[in-house]
């Protein structure tokens, strides 16, 4: 048999029949290759649900390809990395043409390019047309900017794609941004009844994957007991329909709210489907705009949601490809501490961390504010080495792929790039967590106490951070206001905060 003319590599987060990889595919001469690699799930200590989601979605996609008569080589349980497996295949079959879509991870992109060089392959690495903004457009946008800020990029995207703008490019109802309406906590009595997200019972393919993951990665973090993620395009579309019909209406107002045992709030839970490319952002935005009219939803909720997809998601992707590989090494504050062990178990007395990490281990999911202002905020204030924090986020969330995880973690949560695309560090004391959740009610610590045995570690470390970086914050108009409240704390108390913070930092594993 003749070797295929071109081998088309489809990675686990490129599961789109209409994606760039399959454009121009010749059913007679070309072949698709998909690879399940054991080491790939181990290079960060991945959550079992993340591994299972990728494998199940890949196997369902492979089934789809076979039904459509695509010639497919599906390599299961490879003991080699993706690129080593690919290398063997190319050499064994004497294939010289490799087609793929640019991977969402720098490491893999470099490895594929190196392989092509080594084997003198003709490599056709295509840009991912899933996204609204191409690399070229993003680079052009960056070129004349002094400061890289989401807001202006987002406005450009709105205008360029005619989303929530009038014919002259002005924002719908005269306002670009409804952030101020979208920051409410739940009522004091609690969130009330929230429409539960739609969940998908594992079919035989998923059940087989779950058994495989439990047997192959028994020591990996997280549980598979609640695995009900969409693993096919039709399930992802069903999840989207359900979200816009039942949950979008309260998305905006409670976007930042947190409450014990309320893992999903009113969030969409669509990130894993989007990132695996089971869903296209254009169809998500179209569905949201349609629901806006059909159910007369508030513009604030619709704008707030579209901002996440058309704004943040596209913006962080642009930043990732612009700033890699430096982004992965940045450590602006030179933080060197190790991640506390309880990030992997949830066994801590801090109620906020226990809840956010607990649900993460259960589902592989936490919403944005839990990631940014609970686990991320603490990691920054506790001076944890950014690469350790980033590895944790990459491992533990089902939607984590480096192009989106790294800019959010290193850039937004940890300020590791010194504010390349944020105006100041996102830091908060226990008072913020108290305001936005009920976590503090059942906590061993007291959010308003700054030092001493009952002091909230978040609060102690927050004030310590401000004291430590005071002169730097005060030297810039962007951060000057952050230290204003320090003036109300006496010098003696500031010293007590610093002393207690030192104790906390030396005992991070015991909190
Ligand atoms: P919703 O709150 O319903 O938002 C809708 C969609 O908007 C999401 O599905 C997502 O596709 C997009 N979105 C929202 N915020 C962001 C953002 N900041 N950046 C990019 N897209 C966004 N998101 C990931 O998809 N993968 C990650 O690995 C990831 N890591 C993160 C790490 C940290 C430290 C932080 C602070 C955020 C991270 N995010 C990540 C962004 C965000 O937290 C998740 O996209 C969101 O929580 C997913 O839940 P959802 O689908 O219910 O989102
Ligand atoms: Fe978290 Fe502090 Fe509140 Fe406890 S008191 S839940 S540690 S913010």
Q: What's the 352 CA to ligand 2 centre distance in angstroms?
A: 6
User: What CA dihedral angle connects 62, 63, 64 and 65, to 10 degrees?
Assistant: 50
Q: Is the pLDDT of residue 260 over 80?
A: yes
DSSP annotation string for 212-228: HHHHH-TTSSS-STT--
Angle (CA) 9-14-16 rounded to 5° is: 105
Of 323, 351, 372, which closes a domain? 323
Tokens of 473: 């914050």
Greater confidence (207 vs 480) lies with 207
Domain that holds residue 86: 6-126
279, 419: one domain: no
156, 177: one domain: yes
Is ligand 2 within 6 A of the CB of residue 99? no
Which atom of ligand 1 has the smallest separation from the CA of 367?
Answer: 47
Alpha-carbon span 231 to 235, nearest angstrom: 7
Q: Is the pLDDT of residue 102 over 90?
A: yes
Is ligand 1 within 6 A of the CB of residue 313? yes
Alpha-carbon span 481 to 473, nearest angstrom: 8
Q: What's the 271 CA to ligand 1 centre distance in angstroms?
A: 6
Q: Which residues contact 49 (CB under 8 A, 6 or more apart)?
A: 222, 223, 224, 226, 227, 229, 363, 364, 398
Mean pLDDT of 50-77: 96
94, 145: one domain: no
Count CA within 13 A, CB hemisphere, residue 214: 10
443, 423: one domain: yes
For residue 480, the model assigns a pLDDT of: 84
Mutate which of 389, 408, 413, 422 for ligand 1? The one with the most ligand atoms within 8 Å of its CB, which is 408
246, 107: one domain: no
Q: Which ligand gives the minimal distance to the CA of 395? A: 1
Digit-coded pLDDT (tens) for 210-232:
999 999 999 999 999 999 999 99
Give whole-number Cα distances, 206 to 52, 390, 447, in Å.
8, 28, 43
- Phi then psi for residue 7, to 5 deg, are -100, 130
Of 62, 107, 119, 54, the closest CA to residue 81 belongs to 107
Alpha-carbon span 116 to 94, nearest angstrom: 13
Mutate which of 236, 399, 425 for ligand 1? The one with the most ligand atoms within 8 Å of its CB, which is 399
Tell me the pLDDT of the chain averaged across its residues: 94
Alpha-carbon span 41 to 266, nearest angstrom: 30
Q: Is the pLDDT of residue 4 over 80?
A: no
Q: What's the 368 CA to ligand 1 centre distance in angstroms?
A: 6
Q: Is the peptide bond before 35 cis (omega within 30 degrees of 0)?
A: no
Q: Is the pLDDT of residue 107 over 80?
A: yes
Using a pLDDT cut of 70, give the percent of the chain over it.
99
Residue 336 domain-assigned (yes or no): no
Residue 332 domain-assigned (yes or no): no
Q: Is the pLDDT of residue 117 over 90?
A: yes
Confidence of residue 475 (pLDDT cuts 50, 70, 90): confident
265, 286: one domain: yes
Residue 420 Cα to chain centre, angstroms: 19
239, 265: one domain: yes
Digit-coded pLDDT (tens) for 355-399:
999 999 999 999 999 999 999 999 999 999 999 999 999 999 999
Q: What's the 141 CA to ligand 1 centre distance in angstroms?
A: 23
Residue 217 domain-assigned (yes or no): yes
Is ligand 1 within 6 A of the CB of residue 413? yes
Bridge pairing between strands 122-126 and 97-101 = parallel
Is ligand 1 within 6 A of the CB of residue 405? yes
Hey, whose CA ends up nearest to atom 2 of ligand 2?
456
Task: Write out 33-87 in H/E/C secondary structure.
Answer: EEEEECHHHCCCCCCHHHHHHHHHHHHHHHHHHHHCCCCEEEEEEECCCHHHHHH
Is ligand 2 within 6 A of the CB of residue 276? no
Total domains, the chain = 3
Q: What's the 220 CA to ligand 2 centre distance in angstroms?
A: 28
Hey, whose CA ends up nearest to atom 42 of ligand 1?
368
Tokens of 140: 């052009």
For residue 413, the model assigns a pLDDT of: 97
For residue 6, the model assigns a pLDDT of: 87
Residue 415 domain-assigned (yes or no): yes
Confidence of residue 484 (pLDDT cuts 50, 70, 90): confident
Tokens of 460: 């102690």
380, 488: one domain: yes
Digit-coded pLDDT (tens) for 277-288:
999 999 999 999
Residue 153 domain-assigned (yes or no): yes
Of 332, 334, 476, the closest CA to residue 417 belongs to 332
Of 126, 156, 191, which closes a domain? 126
Hey, whose CA ends up nearest to atom 50 of ligand 1?
269
Structure letter (DSSP) for residue 367: -
Digit-coded pLDDT (tens) for 124-140:
999 999 999 999 999 99
- Residue 240's domain is classified under what CATH number? 1.25.40.80
Hey, whose CA ends up nearest to atom 5 of ligand 2?
447
Residue 328 domain-assigned (yes or no): no
Is ligand 1 within 6 A of the CB of residue 259? no
- Residue 501's domain is classified under what CATH number? 1.10.579.10
For residue 1, the model assigns a pLDDT of: 60
Of 293, 323, 353, which closes a domain? 323
For residue 310, the model assigns a pLDDT of: 97
121, 173: one domain: no
Q: What's the 426 CA to ligand 2 centre distance in angstroms?
A: 17
Q: Which ligand gives the minimal distance to the CA of 426? A: 1
Q: What's the 360 CA to ligand 1 centre distance in angstroms?
A: 14
194, 305: one domain: yes
251, 380: one domain: no
Q: Is the pLDDT of residue 251 over 70?
A: yes
348, 271: one domain: no
């Amino acid at each position: 048999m003749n070797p295929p003319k071109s081998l088309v590599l489809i990675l686990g987060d490129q599961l789109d029949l209409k994606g760039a990889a399959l454009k121009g595919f010749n059913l007679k001469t070309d072949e698709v290759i998909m690879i399940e690699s054991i080491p790939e799930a181990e290079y960060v200590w991945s959550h079992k649900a993340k591994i299972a989601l990728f494998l199940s979605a890949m196997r369902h996609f492979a089934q789809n390809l076979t039904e459509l008569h695509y010639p497919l080589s599906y390599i299961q349980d490879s003991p080699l990395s993706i690129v080593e497996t690919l290398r063997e295949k190319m050499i064994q079959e004497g294939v010289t043409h490799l087609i793929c879509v640019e991977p969402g991870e720098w490491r893999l992109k470099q490895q594929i390019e190196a392989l092509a060089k080594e084997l003198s392959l003709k490599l056709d690495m295509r840009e991912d047309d899933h996204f609204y903004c191409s690399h070229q457009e993003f680079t052009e946008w960056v070129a004349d900017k002094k400061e890289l800020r989401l807001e202006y990029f987002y406005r450009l995207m709105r205008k360029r794609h005619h989303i929530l703008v009038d014919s002259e490019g002005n924002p719908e109802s005269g306002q670009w941004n409804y952030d101020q309406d979208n920051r409410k906590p739940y009522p004091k009595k609690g969130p009330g009844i929230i429409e539960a997200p739609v969940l998908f019972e594992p079919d035989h393919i998923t059940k087989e994957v779950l058994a495989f993951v439990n047997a192959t990665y028994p020591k990996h973090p997280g549980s598979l007991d609640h695995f009900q993620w969409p693993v096919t395009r039709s399930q992802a579309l069903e999840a989207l329909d359900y979200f816009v019909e039942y949950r979008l209406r309260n998305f905006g107002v409670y976007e930042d709210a947190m409450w014990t045992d309320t893992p999903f709030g009113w969030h969409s839970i669509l990130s894993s489907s989007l990132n695996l490319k089971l869903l296209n952002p254009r169809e998500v935005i179209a569905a949201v705009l349609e629901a806006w009219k059909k159910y007369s939803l508030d513009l604030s909720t619709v704008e707030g949601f579209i901002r996440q997809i058309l704004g943040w998601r596209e913006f962080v992707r642009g930043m990732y490809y612009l700033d890699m590989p430096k982004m992965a090494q940045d450590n602006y504050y030179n933080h060197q501490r190790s991640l506390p062990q309880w990030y992997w178990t949830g066994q801590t007395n801090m109620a906020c961390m226990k809840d956010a990490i607990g649900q993460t281990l259960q589902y592989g999911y936490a919403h944005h504010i839990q990631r940014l202002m609970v686990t991320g905020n603490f990691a920054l204030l506790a001076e944890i080495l950014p690469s350790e924090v980033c590895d944790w986020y990459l491992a533990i969330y089902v939607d984590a792929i480096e192009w989106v995880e790294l800019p959010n973690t290193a850039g937004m949560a940890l300020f590791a790039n010194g504010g390349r695309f944020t105006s100041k560090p996102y830091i908060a004391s226990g008072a913020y967590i108290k305001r936005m959740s009920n976590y503090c009610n059942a906590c061993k610590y007291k959010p308003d106490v700054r030092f001493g045995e009952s002091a909230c570690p978040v609060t102690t470390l927050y004030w310590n951070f401000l004291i430590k970086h005071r002169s730097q914050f005060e030297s810039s108009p962007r951060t000057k206001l952050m230290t204003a409240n320090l003036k109300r704390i006496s010098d003696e108390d500031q010293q007590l905060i610093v002393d207690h913070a030192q104790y906390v930092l030396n005992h991070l594993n015991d909190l």
